[in-house]
Amino acid sequence: MKLTPEEEDMLSGKRGKAAEKAMDLLVRYANALGAERFVETYNVAGVPGTSNPWLKHQFEADGGDYRAVFCRFDLDSDEVFDLPKMTGNSCHLQGGMDPELWREQGFSDALHDNFVSDEKNVTALDIRNLKTCTPYIAGNEPKFGEHCAWMESSAVVYCNSVLGSRTNTEGRESTSAAMITHRIPDWGLHTDANRRGHHHIKVDVPVDSIFEWGMLGYFIGEIVQETIPVIEGDLKNADLTRHKHFGAAAASSGGVEMYHMVGITPEAPTAEKAFGGLTPLSHIYYGPEERRKTYENLNIRGKSRDVDFVMLGCPHAALEQIEEVARLLVGRKIHENTALWMFTSRFVKLQADARGFTDIIQGAGGMLMTDTCSAISQIIPPDTKVVALDSAKQTHYLPAFMGVEAWYGTTTDCINAAVSGKWEGELS
């Protein structure tokens, strides 16, 4: 490692115990990656110090509290010390429960007390409690070329691809250390060479709705895995929400951390620019047959048409998605045997509240929740067997996590299922 004088000071303990331990962890991390230096980052998004009571119990001898978890678990330290207030743009991503609807989610008083305690500790360290997987919708949108240290696969792929900022998929250890040191290894997608495309994808069917963008992302991720696709073709309405669903799907079926869409994403004005002089490893075609197979693949876990649970908002819903759900529910009621939960960020929910969308959803028998989702917290209504989803990412994960059947379709398909209790979605 080639350390700057400031980094040497941190590692030697001259900047305090927290900086020493954080830098020690990052040096070990960088050595494992083969990185020779650090980049500075003042935009860090993780889950610093937050934990359930079980993890706190593991460090009972060290105090069994937030500070013990941050020092011993996050920073891999052999001792516990006072934590400094964080500077820069340090953000807390997803939480474990809705701060108001936690009872409806099935959490106990003890777990809620732990949640409240952790949040107070996060706030005391000047870390922003965004509590979302979509920080770019909740007030943290980094600049083009800015080095970040972000967790959450769907946020990472959006950060790299749509915003042109730079981050690898980090963990809680590296992000907690980066909040203290403002350093992250100069490796992977922080470098120009590693942001060039690998595979050429030709899209030969219209991809316009959120539903279609999610399917295309799922198809591409499964094929390219952790490499970078360069996509050309009939892509329409390339807005925030569609990119959000595309990237989340590609990061779930594969491990995509970055993609280029020619003429759409900022580092791909042309295909030649996106590949940066590299020859494509393969040319992949997405047409009617590939579209149908992707739909069938996503719905392979669906058998019974009786829907117990409809879950929307993965990644966390944007305001226009909540507006669409409210519009679809006007004058209708959720079926007595079906639950509807929709997830978003606190930031967006305040806007939904102000516009009356939350009241409409609740009036129909649904709930608009924040902070978490069914996959993150592994929470679903009791006795749920069949789920309807408009997220390819959630369709990928929830059956494995919760042992349920799942149907993937449009938001309209899902709302119709919530009202009728039956899945009637089909590929048109």
Q: Using H for helix, E for strand and C for coil, what is the string for 126-150?
A: CCEECCCCCHHHCCCCCCCCCECEE
The CATH classification of domain 299-420, taken from the options 3.40.190.10, 3.30.750.200, 2.40.50.140, 3.30.499.10: 3.30.499.10
Is this structure's pTM higher than 0.95?
yes
Residues of the chain with CATH 3.30.499.10: 299-420
Q: Report the DSSP beta bridge partners of residue 310.
A: 340, 388
Q: How many CB atoms within 10 Å of residue 53? A: 12
Cβ-contact 80, 68 below 8 angstroms = yes
Place of tokens 């606190």: 346
Q: What does the alpha-carbon distance between residue 279 and residue 199 come to, in Å, rounded to a whole number?
A: 9
Report angle CA 156, 157, 161 to the nearest 5 degrees: 120
Which parts of the chain sit beneath pLDDT 70? none
Residues of the chain with CATH 3.40.50: 196-297
In sequence order, what are the residues at sequence separation of 6 or more whose Cβ sits closer than 8 angstroms to the Cβ of residue 238?
Answer: 261, 264
Per-residue tokens: 295: 């739909």
Q: What does the alpha-carbon distance between residue 5 and residue 194 come to, in Å, rounded to a whole number?
A: 28
DSSP 8-state secondary structure symbol assigned to residue 188: G
- Please report the pLDDT score of residue 428 as a whole number: 87
The CATH classification of domain 5-190, taken from the options 3.30.499, 3.40.190, 3.40.50, 2.60.40: 3.30.499
- Please report the pLDDT score of residue 375 as a whole number: 95
Looking at the domain that runs over 196-297, which CATH code has it been given? 3.40.50
